[in-house]
């Protein structure tokens, strides 16, 4: 059995925008007359969807909002994110990401994105960096009602790849996920997928205890190494 697909997380794996998200979440809390607390974004939000993040942040302050109001908050934050990216001449893509994507695509592996980010945010970044054509499927935060560490996004990505390629017959054991946070690693593992942890957001030693394999940078991850680490897992 060989690997057939690589499933990428987005924020913290492809694009280095976690500090921007923390800033925008903090500004949103201030607009709601709430004070951001040091460390809470890292503890509550990293690896999770904006919806799940905001809901928990508000609940921790005794604020219980309707789904409609939560949708409004997510939309406000998304609008601010788009404005911030429009001001950037060059988007902060992690070093080595594009080269790895080209290599995987050249090896005829199917690529997908599984993320809590909104689809519009993902597509904006992919189109501006000329990477959109390499991904056959995107499962974004507005495609599923749950957030990582729940495995639903990964399961849906496999289903979508099978819909796109009926002869693929893709199984979780034939996939590799690339994640940068504990919730993301847990989500992939709960879906039955082996995981490479990239130490973009958390220290190497922390991810090493959870992922099947860990690298400091994606530029260190070569295709032959992926196959080597995958083989015993498969």
Q: How far apart are CA 9 and CA 178, in angstroms?
A: 6
* pTM of the complete model: 0.90
In angstroms, the CA 126 to CA 115 distance is 13
Of 63, 86, 109, the last residue of a domain is 86
Q: Do 66 and 164 belong together in one domain?
A: no
Kindly state whether residues 46 and 64 are assigned to the same domain.
Answer: yes
Task: Look at residue 50 and tell me whether its pLDDT is greater than 60.
Answer: yes
Residue in the structure block whose two tokens are 């090896």: 107
Q: Identify whether residues 30 and 118 lie together within a single domain.
A: no
Q: What is the pLDDT of residues 169-179, one digit of tens each?
A: 999 999 999 99
Instruction: Please state, in angstroms and rounded to a whole number, the distance separating the CA atoms of residues 79 and 84.
Output: 9
Task: Assign residue 54 the CATH number of its domain.
Answer: 1.10.150
Provide mean pLDDT across the span 17-23: 94
Helices 18-31 and 50-59: crossing angle, nearest 10°? Answer: 40
Do the Cβ atoms of 146 and 45 come closer than 8 Å? Answer: no
Same domain, 127 and 166: yes
Residue 6: pLDDT band (50, 70, 90) is very high
| Residue 212 domain boundaries | 5-16+91-233
Task: Let me know whether 107 and 216 are in one domain.
Answer: yes
* Domain co-membership, 100 together with 78: no
Regarding whether 79 and 57 lie in a shared domain, the answer is yes
Choosing from 86, 114, 140, the residue where a domain stops is 86
The residue ranges of DSSP E strands in the chain, in sequence order, are 5-8, 110-114, 137-139, 175-179, 194-198, 213-215
The CATH number linked to 205 is: 3.40.50.1000
Residues 6+ apart with CB under 8 A from 113: 7, 8, 9, 10, 14, 122, 135, 137, 138, 139, 140, 157
pLDDT of residue 219: 87
Q: Is 193 in the same domain as 218?
A: yes
| 198's tokens | 């990239």
Name the domain count of the chain: 2
Q: Kindly indicate the confidence band of residue 115, based on its pLDDT and cuts at 50, 70 and 90.
A: very high
């Amino acid at each position: 059995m060989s690997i057939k697909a690589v499933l990428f997380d987005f924020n913290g794996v492809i694009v280095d925008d976690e500090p921007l998200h923390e800033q925008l979440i903090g500004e949103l809390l201030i607009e709601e007359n709430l004070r951001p607390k040091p460390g809470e974004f890292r503890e509550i939000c990293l690896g999770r969807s904006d919806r799940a993040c905001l809901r928990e942040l508000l609940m921790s302050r005794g604020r219980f909002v309707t789904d409609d109001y939560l949708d409004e908050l997510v939309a406000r934050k998304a609008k601010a994110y788009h404005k911030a990216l429009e001001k950037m001449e060059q988007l902060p893509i992690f070093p080595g990401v594009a080269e790895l994507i080209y290599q995987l695509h050249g090896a005829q592996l199917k690529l997908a994105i599984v993320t809590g980010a909104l689809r519009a945010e993902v597509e904006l970044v992919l189109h501006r960096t000329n990477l959109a054509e390499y991904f056959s499927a995107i499962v974004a935060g507005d495609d599923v009602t749950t957030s990582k560490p729940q495995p639903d996004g990964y399961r849906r990505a496999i289903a979508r790849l099978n819909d796109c390629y009926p002869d693929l017959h893709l199984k979780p054991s034939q996939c590799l996920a690339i994640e940068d946070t504990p919730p993301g690693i847990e989500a992939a593992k709960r879906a039955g997928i082996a995981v490479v942890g990239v130490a973009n957001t958390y220290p190497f030693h922390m991810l090493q205890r959870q992922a099947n394999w860990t690298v400091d940078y994606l530029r260190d991850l070569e295709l032959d190494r992926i196959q080597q680490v995958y083989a015993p897992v498969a």
